[in-house]
Amino acid sequence: MRVVVLVSGTGSNLQALIDASADPAYGVEIVAVGADREGTLGIVRAEAAGIPTFVTRLRDHATREEWDAALTAAIAVHEPELIVLAGFMKLVGEPFLTAYGGRTLNTHPALSPSFPGAHGPADALAYGVKVTGATLFVVDAGVDTGAIVSQVAVPVEDDDDVVSLHERIKVVERAMLVESVGRIAREGITVSGRRVRFGASDSHALD
Ligand code: GRF
């Protein structure tokens, strides 16, 4: 399965996918990595692995929609079957969703529907929940609202701060992402409303 990964930062989720993809039995080829900003470690990781990269910056475009269309065009060159947003800190819009809605996954460091947005671990800590985690979902027009593919729970410890909690979440988040993307490549995925299961409904893995 041809996969494009989008990143904004460290790219440890990307690295986990790169490492898993080294085994042909995993079933995934990362055909390109894109970012919304220059100088990310994620792009460095991709280049080190010999994967084509691109950067599409919002500030280089007159409107958000133009940026979204440019991002979509940069992705389309690589003819992906699946897009993975792995720490990609921008919301995608209408041009992107028209092209890739239903075949784009995002990973979020909280248990949806709790604590959507850019501060999942901090918001969970501030609320005082005892269990949080990570959610992999099919991207829609909302903020972390899409149909849930997979979730994993992480206990909050008494002495956690935002960094320690997020780092523990990221350990299980990476494993969940690797397992789920591999299963989608090998088995397909079926989305019925909000209900998602692994396994294709027909011979087209992502239809
Ligand atoms: C992940 O926890 C992701 O869910 C969140 O930002 C983190 C990205 O980590 N949006 P990395 O860049 O993959 O290391």
Token pair belonging to 90:
């921008």
Q: Ligand 1 — pocket residues by CB below 6 A?
A: 7, 9-14, 86-87, 107-109, 170, 173
Residue 201: pLDDT band with limits 50, 70, 90: confident
Pocket test for ligand 1, best of 12, 44, 148, 164 (most atoms within 8 A of CB): 12
CATH number for the domain including 51? 3.40.50.170
Q: What domain range is 139 assigned to?
A: 2-198
- Taking only the tens place, the pLDDT of each residue in 21-55 is 999 999 999 999 999 999 999 999 999 999 999 99
The answer to whether 28 and 86 are in contact (CB under 8 A) is: no
Q: Can you say how many angstroms the Cα of residue 110 is from the centroid of all Cα atoms in its chain? A: 13
If you search the block for the tokens 């080829």, which residue do you land on?
Answer: 29
Domain assignment of residue 12, yes or no: yes
Query: From the alpha carbon of 109, which atom of ligand 1 is closest?
Result: 4
Domain assignment of residue 203, yes or no: no
User: Residue 206 C-alpha to ligand 1 middle, in angstroms?
Assistant: 24
Residue 206: pLDDT band with limits 50, 70, 90: low
The protein residue whose alpha carbon is closest to atom 3 in ligand 1 is 87
Query: From the alpha carbon of 42, which atom of ligand 1 is closest?
Result: 12
Domain assignment of residue 20, yes or no: yes
Q: Does the annotation mark 108 as catalytic?
A: yes
Q: Which of 140, 81, 85, 82 is nearest to 108 (CA)?
A: 85
Domain assignment of residue 204, yes or no: no
Mean pLDDT, residues 151-174 taken together: 98
The more confident residue out of 200 and 132 is 132
Domain assignment of residue 47, yes or no: yes
Domain assignment of residue 121, yes or no: yes
Length of the chain: 207
Q: Which of 75, 70, 36, 72 is nearest to 52 (CA)?
A: 75
Entry pTM: 0.95
Domain count, the chain: 1
CB neighbours of residue 101 within 10 Å: 15
Domain assignment of residue 85, yes or no: yes
Query: From the alpha carbon of 11, which atom of ligand 1 is closest?
Result: 12
Domain assignment of residue 207, yes or no: no
